């Protein structure tokens, strides 16, 4: 796929296929795996500006990086321009991030009900004020993650694009679906193309990319400057390497099923190991009483990833039904090994 390096502000992304920010998924464990598999850049999880303002330990933990994670954006959300400016200053002062990203597209009810995320698409003056205020508060490059609109009755994609650029953002990433549709329906790559024609700043396309072919189709139709991959990377960090290589071997469809069983098993083991390590570091910096050990917390967090890793495998239902009772790495890997052995036996027949 023919994509040029992405440049905005002081940031250069040599390979502009990026891992999208996803709450509950894109912690340092997943980010580092995706970077090693070729992701051009990564974002932190959704991080509350009000949480930063209130010195929330959970919020600070969401901004914890593993070190060496570059390029990386600190991804924050909120509605109040002053709170967002304060949060952006904090993110910049940590010295961990290459740029700051504002979430203006999350459709989840608890975010929208606060007037944040996608709710800002119903109030473009506030959206513009927030971007402008953050732009004045920090020197790091600034980007905005948004959607083509909230619903059919609110501001359209071109008004959103104009507001983001005129308010001072250096780059925009757009999920090509309305917020009301969440992840349902076909993404509208034509609207991405219209935004690309209007904008002078770079635009990333997001939504519906599960394979090399999807990424190529998005770029061909819209002409976007880069591709952002979210759910397509869960349980499938190999997607970045395959797109980077242009699909030159058996993994070119970038489907988890095309990855060898043993390779998949080793990736799950490594993902779990990194989650344990991440939770150990989090518990070291928190004075709060611990409900779970670092290993137990890692096992709970990994439950959201396992269904994607084992997608398409014979007998996966038995593993998934046991997940709530598996609270050690050894117990999880024992069940995964049983599943791998069962599928290897099927392949050998």
CB 222 within 8 A of CB 192: yes
According to the 3-state scheme, what is the secondary structure of 21-74?
CCCCCCCHHHHHHHHHCCCCCEECCCEEHHHHHCCCHHHHHHCCCCCCCCCEEE
Computed on alpha carbons and rounded to an integer, the radius of gyration of the chain in Å comes to 20
Check residue 106 and report its DSSP letter: -
Structure confidence by residue, pLDDT tens digits, 209-267: 999 999 999 999 999 999 999 999 999 999 999 999 984 443 444 455 578 999 999 99
Of 61-65, 313-317, 339-343, give the lowest mean pLDDT range.
61-65
For 80, the 3-state DSSP assignment is: coil
Rounded to whole angstroms, the Cα distance separating 294 from 344 reads 32
Task: Find residue 104's DSSP bridge partners.
Answer: 146
Q: What is the CATH number of domain 6-255?
A: 3.20.20.70
pLDDT at 21 over 60: yes
CA 44 to each of CA 15, 23, 32, 291, 294: distance values in angstroms, whole numbers, following the listed order = 19, 9, 11, 24, 20
Report the predicted TM-score, pTM, of the whole model to 2 decimal places.
Answer: 0.94
CA atoms within 13 A on the CB side of 330: 0
Rounded to whole angstroms, the Cα distance separating 65 from 218 reads 30
Average pLDDT estimate for 23-27: 95
CB 138 within 8 A of CB 170: no
To the query of whether residue 106 is one of the catalytic residues in this protein, the response is: yes
| Kind of pairing between the strands at 6-8 and 11-13 | antiparallel
Contacts of 286 (CB under 8 A, 6+ apart): 57, 61
Rounded to whole angstroms, the Cα distance separating 195 from 2 reads 20
Instruction: State the pLDDT at residue 254.
Output: 45
Domain range list for the chain: 6-255, 260-348
Q: pLDDT-based confidence at 288, cuts 50/70/90?
A: confident
Structure confidence by residue, pLDDT tens digits, 37-89: 999 999 999 999 999 998 887 788 888 899 889 999 999 999 999 999 999 99
pLDDT at 29 over 90: yes
Q: Which of 104, 106, 251, 299 is catalytic?
A: 106
The residue to which tokens 């991804």 are assigned: 75
Rounded to whole angstroms, the Cα distance separating 86 from 84 reads 5
Report CA torsion sign: 93, 95, 100, 106. negative
pLDDT at 347 over 90: no
Contacts of 349 (CB under 8 A, 6+ apart): none
CA nearest neighbour of 298 among 272, 332, 322:
272
């Amino acid at each position: 796929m023919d994509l040029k390096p992405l440049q905005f502000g002081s940031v250069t992304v040599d390979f502009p296929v990026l891992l999208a920010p996803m709450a509950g998924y894109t912690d340092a464990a997943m980010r580092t795996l995706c970077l090693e598999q070729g992701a051009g850049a990564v974002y932190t999880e959704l991080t509350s500006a009000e949480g930063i303002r209130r010195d929330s330990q959970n919020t600070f933990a969401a901004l914890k990086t593993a070190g060496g994670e570059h390029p990386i954006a600190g991804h924050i959300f909120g509605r109040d321009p002053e709170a967002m400016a304060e949060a952006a200053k904090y993110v910049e002062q940590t010295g961990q991030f290459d740029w700051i990203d504002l979430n203006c597209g999350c459709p989840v009810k608890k975010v929208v009900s606060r007037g944040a995320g996608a709710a800002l698409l119903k109030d473009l003056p506030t959206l513009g004020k927030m971007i402008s205020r953050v732009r004045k508060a920090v020197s790091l490059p600034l980007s905005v993650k948004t959607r083509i609109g909230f619903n059919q009755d609110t501001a359209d994609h071109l008004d959103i694009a104009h507001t983001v650029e005129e308010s001072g953002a250096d780059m925009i990433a757009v999920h090509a679906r309305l917020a009301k549709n969440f992840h349902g329906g076909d993404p509208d790559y034509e609207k991405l193309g219209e935004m690309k024609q209007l904008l002078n700043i770079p635009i990333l396309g997001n939504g519906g990319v599960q394979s090399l072919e999807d990424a190529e189709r998005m770029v061909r139709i819209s002409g976007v400057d880069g591709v952002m991959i979210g759910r397509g990377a869960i349980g499938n960090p190999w997607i970045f390497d395959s797109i980077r290589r242009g699909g030159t071997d058996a993994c070119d469809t970038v489907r988890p099923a095309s990855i060898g069983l043993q390779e998949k098993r080793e990736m799950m083991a490594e993902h779990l190991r990194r989650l344990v390590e991440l939770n150990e570091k989090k518990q070291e910096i928190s004075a709060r009483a611990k409900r779970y050990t670092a290993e137990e917390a890692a096992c709970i967090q990994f439950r959201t990833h396992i269904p994607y890793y084992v997608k398409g495998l014979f007998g996966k239902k038995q593993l998934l039904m046991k997940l709530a009772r598996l609270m050690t790495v050894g117990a999880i890997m024992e069940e995964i090994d049983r599943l791998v052995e069962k599928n290897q036996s099927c392949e050998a027949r």
